[in-house]
Amino acid sequence: MQTGKQYLPTAVESTQGYPRTAVLYRNMMKTTGLYLVLLLGAVLFMVPFLWMLSSSLKSLAEVQTWPVVWLPSEILWQNYPEVFVRTPFARYLLNSTIITFGGIIGTIVGSSLAGFGFARMRFPGRNVLFFVNLTTLMLPAWVVIVPHFMMFSAVGWLDTYLPLIVPAFFGNPFHIFLYRQYFLGIPQELEDAAQIDGASIWRIFLQIFMPMSKPVTATVAIFAFYSYWNDLIYPLVYLQSQLKFPVSLGLRMFQTSNAVVDIPLMMAASVMALLPCVLLFLFAQRLFMQGAVITGVEK
258-273 pLDDT, tens digit per residue, is 656 778 888 888 899 8
Q: For 13, phi and psi rounded to 5 degrees?
A: -120, 150
pLDDT at 298 over 50: no
For residue 110, the model assigns a pLDDT of 93
Report d(CA 167, CA 109) in Å as an integer.
11
Report d(CA 19, CA 287) in Å as an integer.
42
pLDDT at 284 over 50: yes
Report d(CA 194, CA 207) in Å as an integer.
10
For residue 144, the model assigns a pLDDT of 87
Tens digits of per-residue pLDDT, 5-17?
555 455 444 445 5
For residue 106, the model assigns a pLDDT of 94
Contacts of 22 (CB under 8 A, 6+ apart): none
Report d(CA 36, CA 293) in Å as an integer.
26
Q: 96 or 123: which carries more pLDDT confidence?
A: 96
For residue 15, the model assigns a pLDDT of 46
Neighbours of 145 (CB within 10 A): 14
For residue 214, the model assigns a pLDDT of 85
Whether 243 contacts 91, CB under 8 Å:
yes
Per-chain mean pLDDT for the chain: 83
Q: For 19, phi and psi rounded to 5 degrees?
A: -60, 140
Whether 198 contacts 167, CB under 8 Å:
no
Tens digits of per-residue pLDDT, 161-184?
999 999 999 988 999 998 998 888
Q: For 9, phi and psi rounded to 5 degrees?
A: -65, 145
Neighbours of 284 (CB within 10 A): 16
Q: For 62, phi and psi rounded to 5 degrees?
A: -75, -30
Lowest mean pLDDT segment, chosen from 88-92, 230-234, 285-289: 285-289
